[in-house]
Amino acid sequence: MKKIICFLMITAFISSCEQPEVGYISDNIHALQDTITVPRGVFMSSVPPAVEGSTYPIEWKITGITDKDGKPSTELQEEHEILIWKKSFDPTTDTTLELAMKKLELSKRASILMNPVSGEFIFTQATKFVVKNNFNINISAKNVRGERQLDKFTHVKLGPFNAVEFPNATRVQTQFVNQTTGALTGALDYQVVNQFDPKIPNVLNGTDKYFSVKKVSDEPKLGIKVKMIVADSKNTPIAPSKVIFFVNGGATLANFHDNTITPEISANGTTFALPAPPFPQYSRTYRDPNDLNRFLMYYLTTNDAYTFDRAAFEAEKGVKPDSFYAPFKDANGNIVVRGYIRWAIKINDSGTYELTMRNPYTIKK
């Protein structure tokens, strides 16, 4: 009996000396994006993977890439020289081109990187140089408990390079101004809703009735200049002094003037500059880099910028009685209108661009 008790005590002692298992690594670590669609030439990141309770920290690494036919490919990992921001542009401190350029560097980068801590994929502007469109990404995930090799972890699909994007709605509106109350009534609200709006080809080739975005020069080669032209319905530009900021609730809404290097003013427009795309780079109003609202830039025209083209308005909207216009007439009997302008574009390429906004039913004074 003593021998049995002694044996049980020794067994218990040995068991108590065994180290408990440390950590956990799941067999179900997976990407939350089965396919990551990446516009060529644009910086973007993916969402982190699902780790299903695996113990942190986890070390992530790309272990191989294959093309759509399963053949090994190095295209996404080949390095190309691109211009990158080392720090975020801030117009409060980066008040000259020279100061802003100190935050830039020409550097060789691969098209795809993987954050070794978070597991996010990072895609750089070097994707502009990649020829093939579809890739499968193999990775490994490693923690204190072990390592998982995860082949075909996610699929990467490269889309076309869009020099100009429309991440939110670009809008133009001509507004009647009530001369007693100051209230505004829209004569027409026109929008390019987003990147999939069928009007975009016409905006880019200059045939849209109210908007146009066109590249006029390949210079500067690395930087970007954007000229904003606000015009009447006949496409006659008004003076930049007639284009003012939109003040709402005592605060000035986001605008190109506040978000770029000191603008250059000419007789028919205002030119904004940055030492590198994308444009705009920054927003005082919307600071989250993932917030598509940060591309919204607001302007108004003064009440004396235009006369109202009643004939054009009624040709489209139908004849209106004089009583309809009475609240909007000034002491001289003129119908008072103003323009409302909201840009929501992103330009990803270098060079010089012209943005033209034409206010409906207006004639330059």
Determine the distance from the C-alpha atom of residue 319 to the mean position of all C-alpha atoms in its chain, rounded to a whole number: 42
Alpha carbon distance 230, 236 (integer Å): 8
Residues in the chain: 365
Amino acid at 212: S
| pTM of the predicted structure, to 2 decimals | 0.83
Render pLDDT for 36-51 as a digit per residue (tens, 0 to 9). Answer: 999 999 899 999 999 9
Joined tokens for residue 112: 């795809």
* Helix and strand totals (H; E) in the chain: 5, 25
Render pLDDT for 60-97 as a digit per residue (tens, 0 to 9). Answer: 999 999 999 999 999 999 999 998 888 888 888 998 88
Please determine, for residue 229, whether its predicted confidence score (pLDDT) is greater than 90.
yes
Render pLDDT for 247-277 as a digit per residue (tens, 0 to 9). Answer: 988 889 999 998 888 899 999 999 999 999 9
Give the H/E segment covering residue 169.
Answer: none
DSSP 255-294: -TGGGSEEEEE-SS-EEEEESSSSBS---SS---TT-GGG
Whether the ω angle into residue 39 lies within 30 degrees of 0, i.e. cis, is: no
Mean pLDDT (the chain) is 92
Average pLDDT score over residue span 268-292: 87
Alpha carbon distance 202, 214 (integer Å): 11
Tell me what pLDDT residue 5 has: 47
Residue 281 · residue 350 · CB < 8 Å: no
Task: Name residues whose C-beta falls within 8 Å of residue 291's C-beta, 6 or more positions apart in sequence.
Answer: none
Backbone phi, psi, residue 175, to 5°: -120, 130
